[in-house]
Amino acid sequence: AQSVTQLDSHVSVSEGTPVLLRCNYSSSYSPSLFWYVQHPNKGLQLLLKYTSAATLVKGINGFEAEFKKSETSFHLTKPSAHMSDAAEYFCVGSIGGGGNKLTFGTGTQLKVEL
Amino acid sequence: DGGITQSPKYLFRKEGQNVTLSCEQNLNHDAMYWYRQDPGQGLRLIYYSQIVNDFQKGDIAEGYSVSREKKESFPLTVTSAQKNPTAFYLCASTKRNTLRSEGTEAFFGQGTRLTVV
């Protein structure tokens, strides 16, 4: 069985400070992991993905994430938050093959303050 | 440009009515999905289809129905049996990937907000 846990439902940071959104996973197989961002009343946009190549993954808008097998974690980071980063973020796991079913975390709402 | 199109963006339904949400993709993806999103509950899978003329129930299929007559299209009908249909509905698609060890990312539509009036 596969599961994805986002450890914080809400995170608040000041503009210009670092962002850390935490995600832990469990999977019987080597997982593929993704981070998506959702702005209000919009669909989900892919930020970055891990698919067993490099453990440090760089995405769009300055975000990156590091896959740590020993900690079963895939935390999302950004060195300096911008007001436009305020949104909801989802950590998602996937096992490949014919049954490509996605497992979603419950989301983290990021608030960026001046 | 390739992508997924959901329509309408906003939909209002009277109690006891069936309504159909449209989802069309031109990405040549084999698999398509419907998710329901409620505040604080993340995304929950309603139905998914890995190939034309075949689909499976997800975690919350009761009160919903789908069809997959064409690769490009995966409409969702919210029936009168769905007691609490007010939600944000998202359609997604993925490439079929035969590698056991590697999943593929999903592409999402912009969503349909359904409200019961």
For residue B22, list its beta bridge partners: B7
Phi-psi sector, B26: left (phi>0), alpha (psi -120 to 50), beta: alpha
Band (A32; pLDDT cuts 50, 70, 90): confident
Band (A103; pLDDT cuts 50, 70, 90): confident
Say how many CA atoms lie within 13 Å of B48 toward its Cβ: 21
Amino acid at A5: T
Q: Please report the pLDDT score of residue B49 as a whole number.
A: 92
Distances (CA, A) of B112 to B2, B24, B64: 19, 13, 15
Comparison of pLDDT for B16 and B71, the residue scoring more: B71
pLDDT tens, position by position, A36-62 = 999 988 899 999 999 877 889 999 999
pLDDT for residue B2 is more than 90: no
Residues 6+ away with beta carbon under 8 Å from A94: A31, A32, A33, A34, A100, A101, A102, A103, B103, B104, B105
pLDDT tens, position by position, B78-94 = 999 898 999 999 999 98
Q: Please report the pLDDT score of residue A68 as a whole number.
A: 93
Task: Let me know: does A37 contact A47? Beta carbons within 8 Å.
Answer: yes
Mean pLDDT to the nearest integer, A13-25: 97
Residue A4: list chain B partners with CB under 8 A. Answer: none
Is B42 in the A-facing interface, judged by CB distances under 8 Å?
yes
Residue ranges of A 7-36 with Cβ closer than 8 A to chain B: 9, 29-32, 34, 36
Nearest Cα residue to B90 out of B109, B117, B62: B109
pLDDT tens, position by position, B12-35 = 989 889 999 999 999 999 989 999
Comparison of pLDDT for B2 and B44, the residue scoring more: B44
Residue B105: list chain A partners with CB under 8 A. Answer: 32, 34, 46, 49, 94
Q: Please report the pLDDT score of residue A94 as a whole number.
A: 82
Say how many CA atoms lie within 13 Å of B3 toward its Cβ: 10
Say how many CA atoms lie within 13 Å of B38 toward its Cβ: 9
